[in-house]
Structure 1
């Protein structure tokens, strides 16, 4: 196990370098003047543009820029915006909010999606199975921003059950509804994936062997069926954490949440490539570490998997 973990950690290095360079190249390849609007309605003086270009290494080619950026990033410095605001502080303020939102979304999609998938997978075709299939198809067909606006209008403005927007503190209780909106699409996929996995494993040889041995039904379902059916679901939930953090732009915009999504959106609008790059680098690290943890969990769920 130790050698496998070490090998995987070493494999993360070229993946991290390749993905971050590609992201850096794409961000800085976007056309446009990054200093537009910094001097008001008038164009910035050439002396100011030259000074800012030299300060942020914009006159170097993209490879040199990337190497200089990674050199400062490895020291824990995410750089500064063109207004000299520390990007590390901006990420530190926004990341906890997005993490709380993503955690709530994953819990909701895991609890509701897995429960619905287990019930329909065990019972087979019937009213409950048809209800879940229709409901999940409904959630998949409707865009997230429509779901968010409908819930905000109905529960926030008409019924006044909740506040339409989230406060600057972004407490756990305030993020439940936005978390449901964010995780609604993935919840539908988790439900269908769990149902399909359980329905397939119900007819597997190990299930017939367990039944032939006369084991209790609770042990057959809880130990044999669910553990063998959990691997694809765990894989989806793990990889979805990074997607929820980076893909929360619409949800955060609807409910006025100041998180990673809003930070990316503002960085794109203001042509602040350093902000976008810094946030995406953080998301790449989350993806890589979560994937490593998921791989290690496979051996816990399935005894046949060994990392020797």
Structure 2
């Protein structure tokens, strides 16, 4: 297992370099003036443009710019905004909120999605199965911002159960409804995936063998069938954590959550290329590490999988 983890970590290096280079090139190599509108209606003075061009190495070829930026990243320096604010400080202020929101969404989609999938996958077709299928189809059909707006109006404005906008440093309780909204789409997919996987494994040979050996239903389901059925679900949940953190832009905007999503949205509006590059690079790193964790969990869930 140790050798496998080391090998996978080495494989992540070229993937990280390739992904971050594409991000950097898309942000900085596109045609146009990166300082357009930075000085209001009038154009920026030549001295300001020259200073900023030198600061962000814009006179160098894109490849040289990228490796200079990569050298800064390896030292923990994400650069500065055009206003001179450290991007690492902006991320440090916003990231804990987004992490809490993403974890709440992940727990909600895992508990409700897997629970609904297990109930329908074991019971087979019937009223409960049809109810879950219709409910998940309804969630899949609705855009996230519609779900968020409806819950905000009904639970916040009409019933007064929640605050329409969360506080600047929200706790877990305030993030339950935004977390449900953020994870609602993935929750529907998890429920359907778990249901399908369980229904397929119910007819597997190892399940029939376990039943024939006289094992109890709980042991057959919990030890044998469920562990194998959850492998695709764990894959989805592991990679979805990065997607939840990157896809929180809409949810954070609806509930005024001051996290990474709102930060990157404002950076796009103000054309803060350094901020966009730094945040997306961080999300790429989260994706890669979560994929590694999922691969390691495979061996825990399925004893047939061994890493030599």
TM (normalized to structure 1)? Answer: 0.98
Please name the residue that 1:103 is paired with.
Answer: 103
CA distance in 2, matches of 1:237, 1:280: 20
For residues 4-38 of structure 1, what are the alpha-carbon distances to aligned partners after superposition, in whole Å with 9 as ceiling and x for unaligned? Answer: 11111110100110100011111113444322333
**2:305 corresponding residue in structure 1:** 305
1:62 matches 2:62: yes
Q: In structure 2, what is the Cα distance between the partners aligned to 1:27 and 1:42?
A: 24
Which stretches of structure 1, 4 residues or longer, exceed 6 Å deviation after superposition?
A: none
Spell out the pairing of 1:42-81 with structure 2 (5 A cutoff).
42-81=42-81
CA distance in 1 between partners of 2:176 and 2:185 (Å): 15
Cα shift readout 1:80-133 (whole Å, capped 9, x = no counterpart)? 011000000001111111100000000000000000000000000000000000
> Which residue number corresponds to residue 150 of structure 1?
150
- Do 1:267 and 1:275's aligned partners in 2 also have CA atoms closer than 8 Å? yes
Instruction: Note if contact 1:245-1:261 (Cα within 8 Å) is conserved in structure 2.
Output: yes
Shift of 1:61: 1.5
Instruction: State the distance in 2 between where 1:296 and 1:38 align.
Output: 47
Over the aligned positions, Cα root-mean-square deviation in angstroms equals 0.9
Contact 1:34 1:270 in 2 (8 A): no
Superposition pairs of residues 88-99 of structure 1, within 5 angstroms:
88-99=88-99
How far did 1:266 drift? 1.1
Instruction: Give the whole-Å Cα distance in 1 for the aligned partners of 2:177 and 2:166.
Output: 10
Structure 2, unpaired ranges of 5+: none
Q: Residues 92-241 of structure 1: matches in 2 within 5 Å?
A: 92-241=92-241
Displacement, 1:41?
2.6
User: What is the deviation of 1:267?
Assistant: 1.2
